[in-house]
Amino acid sequence: MKRTKVIDALKRTDFGSEITVMGWVRSKRGSKGIFFIALNDGSTIKNVQIVGEDEKFPEDTVKLITTGACLRVVGTLVESPAAGQASEVQAKEIEVLGACDNTYPLQKKGASWEYLRTVAHMRPRTNTFGAILRIRHNMAMAIHTYFHEHGFYYFHTPLITASDCEGAGNMFQVTTKNLYDLKKDEQGKIDYSDDFFGQQVALTVSGQLEGELGATALGQIYTFGPTFRAENSNTPRHLAEFWMIEPEMAFYDKQDLMDLEEDFIKYCVRWALDNCRDDLEFLNKMVDKTLIERLEGVLKETFVRLPYTEGIEILQEAIRNGKKFEFPCQWGDDLASEHERYLVEEHFRKPVIMTDYPKEIKAFYMKLNEDGKTMQGTDVLFPQIGEIIGGSVREESYDKLMAEINRRGMETEKLEWYLDTRRWGSCPHAGFGLGFERLILFVTGMQNIRDVIPFPRTPKNCEF
Ligand code: 4AD
Ligand code: MG
C-alpha cells in the first residue's frame, strides 16, 4: 500500500480506512499491554500517534520500537480520543526498517544547543531543528517568489573569483598547487602562472560586482548563493560559509533602495507567518515566547530611516545619560553590534535603516555624497540581530569611482571588467545583500547562527 505522509495522514478523516505510514519514533510509552508511539517523518512538526497491543506483535519487534528507530506501520485510521489530535493509527502490522540502540545520541530530551552542535549530522531529527529547517526552506521559496513576482531575474554569479568585493582581504584561497612544495621568486612571491587558473583566486565574499554586470544589462537581478568569509569572528552572528541574497537594480536611487529593503523583509516575515504556522508555534512555545509577537510587530512598524550622523548623536546622548558601551562610538567609528542594538531595541524599538556612513568605514563602490565625507550606504538593523542587510547606492561615475579606488591604493588590474560598467553606458544603480542565516535567526528566534544552518562552518570547525 502507498505510504501516506504524516502531514496528510493527520488531515484525513476517512476513518476506518487502511493506512501506511513510515517515520522515526520520537517517543514510545505504554501501559497495561498497550503501547503508544509518536511517529514523525519530517513532513510536519506534528507526530502521528500509533496505538498497538503488545500481544498482537512478536516480542522481538516490540523490543525494537525504541526512540529513533525507523518504522513502517500499516493500520486503521481512527478518530482519536486523545486531545490535540484528530486521528491516530491502530497498528495491524509494524516493520522495523531501521533499529536504533541506546547509543543513539538524541535519546534525551532537552539537550543543550552546544551538545546538539557536536552531533549536527543527526540534529535535523530533533523537533526544533526540523522546524528550523522547514522554515529555512520556506524562506528560500519566499525569496525566489518575491523577486520573480517583482520582475527580477535570478542571476548566477561565480563562487571562484579573483576579486575581493568588500576589500577586507578575508578570502579563502583556491589552488591546486602542492602546498608542501611551494616555489617563490626572489621577492618571496608565489608564481601562480602554473596554478589551475593561472592566477591567484579565492572563494567569493559577495556576488555583487558580477551582479552589477547583470543589473546593468537585465535591469534588475538577484543572486542567492553561498558566500565565504575567512574572518576570525567567533560570534553568534558570523559564519565562514553563509548564504547571501543580493538584488541589484538599475535606475534605483537611495529612496527606492530603502523601500525595497523594507518591503522585501516584510514579505519574507509575512510568508513565514502565513506558511510556517505549526513550526512557528512550536518555536514560540519551546524557544522564544515572544517570537510570533515580534514577527507580527515588524509587519506593523515603519522602519526608521536614520542617517549615521544622527545615529551617533543619539548614542552620544545616551552615553551622557549614563549608558555604558564597551566600544567607542565617535563620528567615524564603525558601529558595534551593541550600538546597533541600542538604537533598535532601546531607543526606537523598531527596525532602523541606517544611511550615509563615513566613507572610511565602507566599501569602495558606494556612491559618495556631495559632502565628500559620507557614502550612500543603507544598512538594515534589526532587533536581536543587528545588521541584517548591507546595501548601498553604487558610484556610477567612472572618474569618482577611480578616484576612490586610487585613494585606497587598490589594484585595478583585476577590476577592469567591473570598471567597464562605468566606461560604457553607465547608469545609476543600487543593491543590497541580505544574510540568509541572519534572516533565519530573526524568523526562528534562535540565538546562535550555528543553529540555523544544517552544517555550520566557523573558525576551527569544519566537521560533517
Ligand atoms: O554588509 P556585507 O558585507 O555587504 C556585502 O557583501 C555587499 N556586497 C552586499 C551588497 O550590497 N550586494 O554583507 C551583507 C550581509 C550582512 O548584512 C549580513 O547580514 C550578512 O551579509 N553577513 C554575514 N552573515 C553571516 N556570517 C558572516 N560572516 C556574514 N558577513 C556578512
Ligand atoms: Mg555590512
Chunked into runs of 10 residues, the chain (464 residues) has average pLDDT values of: 94 95 96 95 97 95 96 96 87 97 89 95 96 98 98 98 86 95 90 94 97 98 97 92 98 98 98 98 97 96 98 97 95 94 96 97 96 97 94 97 95 93 97 98 98 97 94
Span from the CA of 81 to the centroid of ligand 1 (angstroms): 51
Fold (topology level) of 123-170+205-451: BirA Bifunctional Protein; domain 2 (3.30.930)
Which of 132, 117, 113, 120 minimizes the C-alpha distance to 464? 120
Span from the CA of 196 to the centroid of ligand 1 (angstroms): 29
Which residue has cell 512478536? 58
- Quick one: pLDDT at residue 282? 98
The amino acid occupying position 263 is D
* Cα angle 323-324-329, degrees, rounded to a multiple of 5: 95
Determine whether the shortest distance from the Cβ of 67 to ligand 1 is under 6 A.
Answer: no
- CATH 2.40.50.140 in the chain: give the residue spans: 6-98
- Quick one: pLDDT at residue 176? 96
| Pairwise CA distance, residues 166 & 206, whole Å | 7
Burial 432-453 (b: 16+ CB within 10 A, else e): bbbbbbbbbbbbbbbeebbbbb
Span from the CA of 434 to the centroid of ligand 2 (angstroms): 9
Determine whether the shortest distance from the Cβ of 163 to ligand 1 is under 6 A.
Answer: no
Determine whether the shortest distance from the Cβ of 390 to ligand 1 is under 6 A.
Answer: yes
Instruction: With beta carbons less than 8 A apart as the criterion, state whether 353 and 306 touch.
Output: yes
Ligand nearest to the CA of 335: 2
Position in ligand 1 atom list of the atom nearest CA 244: 21
Determine whether the shortest distance from the Cβ of 265 to ligand 1 is under 6 A.
Answer: no
Span from the CA of 37 to the centroid of ligand 1 (angstroms): 44
- Quick one: pLDDT at residue 356? 98
Determine whether the shortest distance from the Cβ of 435 to ligand 1 is under 6 A.
Answer: yes
| Pairwise CA distance, residues 407 & 173, whole Å | 26
Determine whether the shortest distance from the Cβ of 431 to ligand 1 is under 6 A.
Answer: yes
- Quick one: pLDDT at residue 164? 87
Which of 435, 391, 442, 440 minimizes the C-alpha distance to 241? 435
* Cα angle 446-337-243, degrees, rounded to a multiple of 5: 55
DSSP E strands, 178-281: 201-203, 220-228, 241-250
Which of 135, 152, 380 minimizes the C-alpha distance to 269? 135
Question: Within 13 Å and on the Cβ side, how many CA atoms surround 366?
Answer: 27
| Pairwise CA distance, residues 30 & 71, whole Å | 17
What's the CATH code, domain 6-98? 2.40.50.140
- Quick one: pLDDT at residue 414? 86
Instruction: With beta carbons less than 8 A apart as the criterion, state whether 345 and 301 touch.
Output: no
Span from the CA of 434 to the centroid of ligand 1 (angstroms): 6
Which of 3, 140, 164, 134 minimizes the C-alpha distance to 70? 3
Q: CA torsion angle for 5, 119, 26, 110 (degrees, to 10)?
A: -130
Determine whether the shortest distance from the Cβ of 165 to ligand 1 is under 6 A.
Answer: yes
- CATH 3.30.930.10 in the chain: give the residue spans: 123-170+205-451
| Pairwise CA distance, residues 104 & 101, whole Å | 6
Q: Whose CA is nearest to atom 29 of ligand 1?
A: 238
For a pocket test of ligand 1, which of 231, 242, 244 has the largest count of ligand atoms closer than 8 A to its C-beta? 244
Q: Whose CA is nearest to atom 31 of ligand 1?
A: 435
| Pairwise CA distance, residues 384 & 236, whole Å | 11
